[in-house]
A and B are shown apart, each in its own frame.
Chain A
């Protein structure tokens, strides 16, 4: 018995070390990006300064000058926030009705909503460009980016909210109905306080998806409403000359989102599997 315990303790240490090593390997590219961002552009490509160098904040201080970072960052913040807000405004009532007053068709409607998410974006690239450029004249506006981000995330928002709302006992809502509370009152006074956590994590996750979106935000903007995805994609081939400053602007573009992501890793499963994995 003692031998078994001994062996498993040793085995336990081995697996623990392995888990740590693998995790560090996975994190390494991000670490390397942050690490390089403190090197000057010249140091970043010199093998002798691979690990030892004089750290500098210049890359961060010159971000506005080099890349006009803040303009893109502000665009990202504006579009992602408003898209999230609008998706919730449209999504909450819809998910509420579906969770508490399901009809025969609710299930089909939900599945259909999800199917809109599975349309390959490239298939409608030209029609979208044509509509927004020639027809509606909204190409490269914040309005357009917000609308598109809101629409591509709406199915996920509704699905997530639906799974959260379904966890609320129906009796509570029905008791409210008995007391003669209006629909708006039900949402405002019963649903929102009860499902606050679920709604917050839905919002957080939607914000992250909006921030990272890289197809429509790049295709449907030029300068006015261009987001950070567009900024990075525009500087994709620095030919080694600007590794330092490119690392800094990349770090600034993903840093806040990676940290936000740490807080909603649990909700990610629900958001991406549509409640099909528990």
Chain B
């Protein structure tokens, strides 16, 4: 009797805490998503309390889906940012993992340098990139473009070359705070931060690759590309899937970077939009939140199934 009870007792605190953490706020969100609930309303003060008499059914969902101005833009942005980051991190991660997965002088230092961006806190990452690096006037971006323009201006003074270079326009640095480009800035900084994560995982996995099989392939005269294509890539299929899923979950809820880069102007993603709704329209925020949960769950179910399978072996 007590043999079974003690393990259960030891697990109880963790299970209860996580159960509360998951169920209490989420059920509140679910409830709020079905009622009219706004924080400030002089016209309809009864809507400012979360009471059941303000029942709205699926009205908030309809509002979010069909009349809220930015919902589809936000969904589109969320997906665009996530997909771009995934493509860049996986390709870069694969290339770098293979590059570093050899013995060469200073490998330890290279690994340390390569992995460092991952430990930079997101707020610092965003502030550093958008100001010191990407700022169109004072950042390295602006300085580099200014430098190129100066060089070209200098070249115009030359007798023959000058005629050629005088046809060149003055370059204009790209501003990454603008509506369309801020998503690129976010993609850039998150790719920088998360490529090391992909590298680490691919490298770990490469180390468990079957060396004998590879040597046999070399003896059979298989080219480097076909060895990569037919041996390494299948071996990495699972780590790639895991990198894709974990990153999807993290980046679907990207927030600090979006807020710091553009304060959401034009370039909001779903979490940012929910944050905006939360300043007043709680009903809409909750309905959008439920959509975010659904979106994350689509990815999470695959990931959990995969992790669960590898759990017991």
Contacts and interface: CB of A to CB of B under 8 A. Distances in A.
Given A115-B304, A250-B124, A123 B274 contact: yes
Interface in B98-149: 99-100, 102, 104-107, 109-124, 126-133, 135, 137-138, 140, 143, 146-147
A107 B312 contact: yes
A83 interface: no
Interface string B1-43: 0001011101101110110011011101100100000000000
Given A114-B307, A254-B121, A126 B99 contact: no
A52 interface: no
B252 to A, nearest CB: 6
Interface in A248-278: 250, 253-254, 257-258, 260-262, 265-266, 268-269, 272-278
Identify the interface centre among B116, B192, B310: most chain A CB within 10 Å of its CB: B116
A125 B303 CA distance: 24
A238 B113 contact: no
Nearest to A269: B204
B256 A110 contact: no
Q: Main SS of chain B's interface residues?
A: helix
B118 A120 contact: no
Nearest to B22: A116
Contacts of A45: 138
Given A29-B117, A122-B289, A109 B11 contact: yes
A180 to B, nearest CB: 13
Contact of B121 (A94, A118, A212): A212
Nearest to A12: B104
A208 B197 CA distance: 14
B259 interface: yes
Contact of B14 (A90, A229, A233): A90
A193 interface: no
B243 to A, nearest CB: 8
A91 B113 CA distance: 32
A259 B115 CA distance: 11
A260 B115 CA distance: 12
Interface of A: 12, 15-16, 18-20, 22-24, 26-27, 29-30, 32-33, 36, 45, 47, 50, 90-91, 93-94, 96-98, 100-101, 103, 107, 109-111, 113-116, 118-131, 151, 154-155, 158, 183, 208, 211-212, 214-215, 218, 228-229, 232-233, 235-238, 240, 243, 246-247, 250, 253-254, 257-258, 260-262, 265-266, 268-269, 272-278
Interface of B: 4, 6-8, 10-11, 13-15, 17-18, 21-22, 24-26, 28-29, 32, 96, 99-100, 102, 104-107, 109-124, 126-133, 135, 137-138, 140, 143, 146-147, 192, 195-197, 200-201, 204-205, 208, 238-239, 242, 246, 249, 252-253, 255-256, 259-260, 270-272, 274-275, 278, 282, 285-286, 289-290, 292-293, 295-297, 299-300, 303-304, 306-308, 310-312
Given A32-B132, A229-B122, A237-B131, 20 more contacts: A12-B104, A15-B104, A27-B116, A30-B116, A32-B128, A94-B13, A94-B15, A107-B308, A122-B271, A122-B275, A125-B275, A126-B286, A126-B289, A127-B24, A154-B17, A228-B123, A262-B115, A268-B118, A269-B201, A277-B201
